[in-house]
Amino acid sequence: MGPMRTRRPLVLVLLCVAALLSSACGDGGKAKSIKVVIAEYSKDHTRPFWQGLAEQYTKQTGVKVDLQVIDWNSIDQQVSTMIQNNQPPDVLNLNSFSSYAKDGLLYSADEALSPKTRDDFLEPFVRGGTYRDKLYGFPILASARAFFYNRDLLNRAGMTAPPRTWDEFLQAARKIQALGGGVIGYALPLGPEEAQAEWSIWMWNNGGDWKSGEAWTINSEKNVQTLSFLAGLANTHKVTQVNPGKTNRTDGAFQLFKDGKVGMVMGFSPLAAQLDAERKLNYGVAQMPTNTGTPVTLGVEDYLMAFKKKGNQEAARQFLDLYYQPAQITRWITAEGFLPVTKSGLQQMSGNEKLKPYLDALPSARLAPTTDPTWDKVKLDVQQNIGLAVQPGGDPKQVLDRLQKNAAESGR
């Protein structure tokens, strides 16, 4: 025990010295290293790409990169811990940005991007990254949802085309469900993983929305109608999988669809990539069924942010400018199977047949209200609660009223 007792403080002291040295680099003068935190989109492509980019960056600038690729499940926690400990990253990739902008932690585009990089962004994604008239959330990549259907099941149920309206959708779901043998009409994932995405699509295709101007409209009459429609799918018509309010997207709804058990599901391009790799399922991709005449889909924009730290502005700008070189960003987005966020990228990728349905859907795509910092809490509230509305005995209006109340309160 004796030697251990004396050695421990020494280790501590050394650790502290090391920590002081590394954080001291940021003060006075230029940063000698930057911390880059990236979410893991796939095991195969994310780390190799960013590792390569970091090496190239170090070669060009002499600035070292501390690259951390973190899985989506723990990235919120790890980033929060970094900020609590006053050791924020220099460059961060995440699916939200406005809370960080609100806290005054970020460089704006004027400070952290060259004008050429900034001008290459597609306009909708610039809007999606703007907080109080300044661009803080730089688009890193995008995705769009599309309506996936199992051709074989649709044909067996006597249909040749996917449904375009909600009425047709309900009929299709009922016919597919009626095939029996455990076949499911529509896989509805309203569990906590991504409930806000599934809900957004249904809400918009009935003419509802999250907000009207500055005010939240979560419990509007239209939205109550939409959620009641979804509850009806589950409990009245019984055309969904068991317990849709307790089914997640990835290992729930997608799994059932991949297994050929489900007629229809809302998917996105990475699902298509998996289906194409497995070559088991004869599927089609179409626009969302609509109740208003105009199909709307959900676009998702993920962000890159540059954190304000002493002496790191130039280093962060150089890193971002390197990523946004058309060859770099497009190579990565293509590898991950997502959609472009830059004009040059759109040009390069528009010839890709596989991406056509999603690229076609992009103009009609809408984003969640990520520019409002309140959204970061509303999203979590929706994820934890909306599933309860489609359980047997659930009350759509009550659930939406509560979400609305919480949103209005945290917005103040």
Give contact residues for other proteins (rule: CB under 8 A): 8, 76-77, 79-84, 99-100, 102-103, 105, 182, 190-193, 195, 241-243, 245-248, 251-252, 255-256, 259, 261, 373, 376-378, 380-381, 383-388, 406, 410
Helices and strands per DSSP (H, E), number in the chain: 19, 13
Report the nearest approach of other proteins to the CB of residue 312 (Å). 18
Residue pair 38/93 in contact (Cβ under 8 Å)? The answer is yes
Question: From CA 404, how far away is CA 227, in angstroms rounded?
Answer: 14
Which residue, 66 or 251, is less far from other proteins as judged by CB? 251
The residue count for the chain: 412
Report the nearest approach of other proteins to the CB of residue 243 (Å). 4
Report the nearest approach of other proteins to the CB of residue 321 (Å). 25
Give Rg (Cα) of the chain.
23
Which residue, 301 or 376, is less far from other proteins as judged by CB? 376
Report the nearest approach of other proteins to the CB of residue 81 (Å). 7
**SS3 category, 285:** strand
Helix boundaries (H) for 85-220: 98-102, 109-112, 115-120, 123-127, 151-156, 166-177, 195-204
Residue pair 256/241 in contact (Cβ under 8 Å)? The answer is yes
Count Cβ atoms below 10 Å from residue 55 Cβ, excluding itself.
Answer: 12
Report the nearest approach of other proteins to the CB of residue 228 (Å). 17
Site of tokens 């650790």: 15
Report the nearest approach of other proteins to the CB of residue 229 (Å). 19
Which residue, 311 or 411, is less far from other proteins as judged by CB? 411
Which residue, 101 or 285, is less far from other proteins as judged by CB? 101
Which residue, 192 or 207, is less far from other proteins as judged by CB? 192
Question: From CA 257, how far away is CA 255, in angstroms rounded?
Answer: 5
**Angle CA 40–74–334, to nearest 5:** 15
Report the nearest approach of other proteins to the CB of residue 251 (Å). 8
Which residue(s) pair with 186 in the sheet? 240, 264
Which residue, 63 or 262, is less far from other proteins as judged by CB? 262
Which residue, 117 or 383, is less far from other proteins as judged by CB? 383
Report the nearest approach of other proteins to the CB of residue 129 (Å). 16
Question: From CA 284, how far away is CA 359, in angstroms rounded?
Answer: 16
Ramachandran area for residue 290 (φ above 0: left; ψ -120 to 50: alpha; else beta) = beta
Which residue, 32 or 246, is less far from other proteins as judged by CB? 246
